[in-house]
Every structure is written in structure tokens, then in C-alpha cells.
Amino acid sequence: MKKLLSRLLWIPLFAIIVLFLVANRQLVAVSLDPFNATNPAVTTPAMFLWVWLILIFFIGFAVGAFGMWVSGRQRRHQARMERRELKTMRKEMAALEKQRAESETAQPAPADDALPLLQSSSA
């Protein structure tokens, strides 16, 4: 159901965007001079309007992605520290388990027939 609703929203929106881009095929030069509109000092080469719109979209996407990457710096640093700590703890745990296994093999376990004698004498 969610997929159907998503398609009902995105397909018409995509069609409207394509129609807009096809209808605006004239060449446009973007002026970067806010003081002189008739003879701008800084202007871009004339390109199709849809090229400018797509370029602005990708530039906005890249700036947003960079901002998200920068804002996640502290969390990535903390995750690296926790990963190192976990690796150290796993090594310590493996060493302790190995030490415990070696100590269990070094000390013989009490015989099964000796257990009832110990329990009956203490009671």
C-alpha cells in the first residue's frame, strides 16, 4: 500500500518536472552582479535553464551531504573509540578464558565418589 501511494505521488511530480524542463529550453545567462543588471560585470555562459536548475540541485545536494558529514564527526569519533575499546575487551576476555581453561586442566576435578562422602560427613 505504501509503495502504491509513493508511486501515485512521485510519478506525477516527475512528469511535471520533465514537462517544465522541456518547456524551458531557452538559453539563460546567470548574472552575478547585483548592481548593474543591464551590463553585468560578472556573468556566466548562456546555457539551457534546465542545465542551471540541475546544477543548482546537485550543488545543493553536495553542500547538504558535506554538512551532514561534518555534523557526524563527533559520532564517528566516538564509534571509533568504542570499537577500539571493544576490540581490547575481547582480547582480554579471550586471554582470561584461556587462563581459566589452563587452570581447570591443571587442577584435577574431585572424583564423583568422593562427593557423597563429603556431603554425608558434613551433615
Cα separations in angstroms, 121 against 110, 111, 112, 114: 16, 16, 15, 11
Q: What percent of the chain has pLDDT over 90?
A: 41
46 and 92: one domain? no
Helix axes 49-71, 73-106, angle to 10 degrees: 40
Q: Is the pTM of this model over 0.95?
A: no
Q: What is the mean pLDDT of residues 96-110?
A: 83
Q: What is the mean pLDDT of residues 9-27?
A: 87
Give the number of domains in the chain: 2
Residue 85: give the domain boundaries.
79-104
18 and 66: one domain? yes
What's the confidence (pLDDT) of residue 72? Answer: 94
